[in-house]
Structure 1
């Protein structure tokens, strides 16, 4: 039987759009002048009231200058910025849909998203304007549909800044557009596929509202808008990208709904991260495994006081118990783990604060209003304790993939379950474990080898700074074998002796089928996505190219 979420009580999901839930509530636990978003570099900030007024003005301006209609899409091509929330919510006020794009995209990659989403405009920052212009041209989007956000303006005033759109004359006559929360989209986020183009994940207002309230039910008992001796409340450091649903809902919406101060970093930098934690006395951080790994090993950490952190929550990729334990041993900082996907808006599981050290390695318990089951390759439910693919059902499950009915059919069952593509199991106490992606499992002679499990083990080795494991087909053995790509700790010399030491050390700690029969390769850097996921396909392409080069050398 599917497991129902029961650790936290169910929450009532109102039939309201995201704007109404954020701005038309009677139970807001903080005042209008509460500062929510802070740019620590420019010292600019937004209070609740400033966010609301800026959003309404921007929404009115959109309708006035672009004849904006319900369902129109606005793309955001920008690093993290405190202007993102009011621009985003102003678009929703006007009945629009937000489609955030990775600022690392090339013009061609951005153009694909602009075309696929049908974007009517794009907001960017000055350093990214040239790429946005090229992408707009490729996508057939008029150049006057590009606007700027952030602190820099166009010195020639050829491109409008969003603040000028806020002040458009004649805009005062417009009113908020009504939307249907169950049917109408709030966000169109693009998930990075392992092959082909990214897929547009359609998230309705109900999806996002549901997940915000479900997440709040799990986190709010521990977070406060006015806790602490100075009564200023919990402070969250935000470096996770706002173009990812993790950053959108867990950071932007969570902080705003619950009245938490959010210090915004445009991108991650370890020393800046440490300094801001120390200067702002950060109490909670949403984080990703590569950063947790740095906290466990990097020498720069010792220069700063990070003791204000009460909890960190890791997501986006599996975090192994070895890394969690290493951070606790070094810094006495707790790291709990959560789980979610773009298609689930995103959070589905999190470790309760009080259980982070009792179920290390688990992604925790299901947050309210969901059911889940683990399924065999034959799509039969497996018993508790057995490994299978995780399927989830709830009000946070996405509407489908844009312009991709086949992908939608493959992902969603007729009775509403989403096939996550992630492999794991649950224990008898309702704790869920994610071991790897279905497509990334290494198949050694019929045995399944989860790369993430080996990565967690190898990361605990003193001579290893970072690691990725992939499966490579070995013709002599007629099977896939695991190979580790390793970034060595400072001062450690690469070579046959170091490789032999690591291979033998691993063999002493794992079952026979999990040994590194593909050997070890030493590299300067592990390729990762901005959300912290290891890009194993890049390593596989590298290995394939090296193999072809070796074969040619022998001919």
Structure 2
């Protein structure tokens, strides 16, 4: 039997995102409540500023370009406090937003613009060289490239110039008649195993998810503050920070990119009380020397998501800084949050992502797709109002991802404990298969991160012709002062060997890297590691000339 959420069912209103956020009767905070603060310039936007500027921008889209329901606007930018009014102005006009990674090059951005059929592109002055080429490749006219941010240029209109106040009275908000079936966002998967897929999220998906996860974080607009470096182009930052902040009136310091010292300074200066983080940042909190210079006493709780977090890291940060860390879980395809640890249980259930959120059901299945009993490991499948509509232009991938009865196949392996808390142990495709045994890279990574000489690490499987099987290999970034040597390698191999079952040993050895390859959301790029391993092993296989 599928697992039901322990929380009471929530009534999901049949509202579009803009109406849900800006036409509400239950708003507890005033219109002049500051919501977004620019971390660089200290410029602020209130709730009323965002609402009014969104309507003005939406009016401009309709006036200038006859914007119609379903037209797509692409946002290719780092975090800006003006991103929210641009996004919700587009939704006001009936449009769809696709968010693009500002680290993309011309080819990657061109693909997304073409795949999403974007009609216009919003970007920063500094990103114009790439944006102009990609827009041309996608058939977007040059006059539909809009500039965001404090810098301006004569060649392209600024987003605040996309308006027509003289005739604004004749324009009305586009009605969303069926929030469950009408597209709001196209967020693209990271593409670590191939071309990115456009995840289609409806208005109801986002509205539902906001109502599902926000009750689990007891925050109050009168005293709580957030910091936002997680990218708004990624679903984690888009929902949990950009949307969450304005829904609850939480003052949020917006960072255009992550910088450790600025991040720490903002927490200290603004007395930030809650932060949404990713494991690489938590790793810095545990080990980076600069962190000790700052005051973190205002932080009530930290939430970690986007990638697995080990017990060792949670305990290290607590021991060093007395910062409480809970975990959550979700995916782009689930809008994203599906699990969130209760604040009161972060110490008693370290490693868990918490219980299943309201209005959701879940089950674990084996490799044949047969449901396994609760408590037994398997692949996690979930159903609920926050599950995506499907993948854009990819019906085959959609059918493969969502079952006929509405369960999304996450591709993540885990189990549920007796208290109803879920644990995610690894990705199905990332499990290393050693002679019939399954080895979870995350488990070995957690062990290695507990060693004083390890600053960061990643484990992947490599094929060993000698034993005709995959074996685990660790890639390690050493702590300052640790020596790259055979002795260090043997020490770390022995460290793991003493703590794991026989089949989990690092038979593929250890390699040292300057940095572990990761996506912007903090996920280890194991595809890159496998490519590195292949090059290394091919190089070692080349016969050496005799002198």
TM-score, structure 2 normalization: 0.98
Q: Deviations over 1:128-150 (max 9, x none)?
A: 01110010111111111100111
Matched, 1:223 2:219: yes
Residue 171 of structure 2 corresponds to 174
Residue 327 of structure 2 corresponds to 337
Residue 16 of structure 2 corresponds to 17
Residue 200 of structure 2 corresponds to 202
Cα offset, 1:486, TM superposition: 0.4
Q: Name structure 1 gaps, 5 residues minimum.
A: 227-232
Residue 63 of structure 1 corresponds to 62
Residue 230 of structure 1 corresponds to none
Aligned equivalents of 2:166 and 2:98: distance in 1? 27
| 1:160 counterpart SS class | coil
Aligned equivalents of 1:536 and 1:168: distance in 2? 51
Q: Is the 8 A contact 1:441 1:450 kept in 2?
A: yes
Q: Deviations over 1:79-119 (max 9, x none)?
A: 00000100000000000000000000001100000000000
Aligned equivalents of 1:29 and 1:477: distance in 2? 65
- Residue-pair matches, total: 544
Cα offset, 1:167, TM superposition: 4.4
Residue 159 of structure 1 corresponds to 156
Q: Is the 8 A contact 1:189 1:243 kept in 2?
A: yes
Residue 106 of structure 1 corresponds to 105
Residue 456 of structure 1 corresponds to 446
Q: Is the 8 A contact 1:17 1:181 kept in 2?
A: yes
Q: 1:507 aligns with which of 497, 501, 513?
A: 497
Aligned equivalents of 1:208 and 1:318: distance in 2? 23
Matched, 1:312 2:311: no
| 1:365 counterpart SS class | coil
Cα offset, 1:173, TM superposition: 1.3
Residue 277 of structure 1 corresponds to 267
Residue 229 of structure 1 corresponds to none
Q: Deviations over 1:355-401 (max 9, x none)?
A: 01110001111111100001001111111221100000000000000
Residue 214 of structure 1 corresponds to 212
Aligned equivalents of 1:117 and 1:85: distance in 2? 20
| 2:269 counterpart SS class | helix
Matched, 1:544 2:534: yes
Residue 40 of structure 1 corresponds to 39
Matched, 1:350 2:346: no
Aligned equivalents of 2:351 and 2:361: distance in 1? 21
Q: Is the 8 A contact 1:60 1:172 kept in 2?
A: no
Residue 121 of structure 1 corresponds to 120
Q: Is the 8 A contact 1:64 1:168 kept in 2?
A: no
Residue 285 of structure 2 corresponds to 295
Aligned equivalents of 1:193 and 1:160: distance in 2? 32
Cα offset, 1:166, TM superposition: 3.0
Aligned equivalents of 2:291 and 2:23: distance in 1? 43
Q: Deviations over 1:395-442 (max 9, x none)?
A: 000000000000000000000000000001111110100011100000
Cα offset, 1:12, TM superposition: 0.8
Cα offset, 1:9, TM superposition: 2.2
Aligned equivalents of 1:202 and 1:510: distance in 2? 41
Residue 135 of structure 1 corresponds to 134
Aligned equivalents of 1:393 and 1:15: distance in 2? 19
Q: Is the 8 A contact 2:63 2:164 kept in 1?
A: no
Q: Is the 8 A contact 1:65 1:168 kept in 2?
A: no
Question: Greater shift after overlay, 538-547 or 27-36?
Answer: 538-547
Aligned equivalents of 2:49 and 2:70: distance in 1? 25
Cα offset, 1:169, TM superposition: 4.3
Aligned equivalents of 2:518 and 2:490: distance in 1? 26
Aligned equivalents of 2:112 and 2:47: distance in 1? 31
| 2:232 counterpart SS class | coil
Aligned equivalents of 2:24 and 2:67: distance in 1? 26
Aligned equivalents of 2:457 and 2:164: distance in 1? 51
Residue 416 of structure 2 corresponds to 426
| 2:79 counterpart SS class | coil
Aligned equivalents of 2:371 and 2:25: distance in 1? 43
Cα offset, 1:553, TM superposition: 4.5
Q: Is the 8 A contact 2:64 2:163 kept in 1?
A: no
Residue 187 of structure 2 corresponds to 189
Residue 242 of structure 2 corresponds to 252
Q: Name structure 2 gaps, 5 residues minimum.
A: none
Q: Is the 8 A contact 1:442 1:481 kept in 2?
A: yes
| 1:186 counterpart SS class | strand
Q: Is the 8 A contact 2:448 2:496 kept in 1?
A: yes
Aligned equivalents of 2:248 and 2:260: distance in 1? 27
Residue 5 of structure 1 corresponds to 5
Cα offset, 1:548, TM superposition: 2.0
Consecutive aligned runs of 4 or more in structure 1 exceeding 4 Å deviation: none
Aligned equivalents of 1:305 and 1:166: distance in 2? 44
Q: Deviations over 1:197-250 (max 9, x none)?
A: 10000000000000011112222xx21011xxxxxx211010101000110110
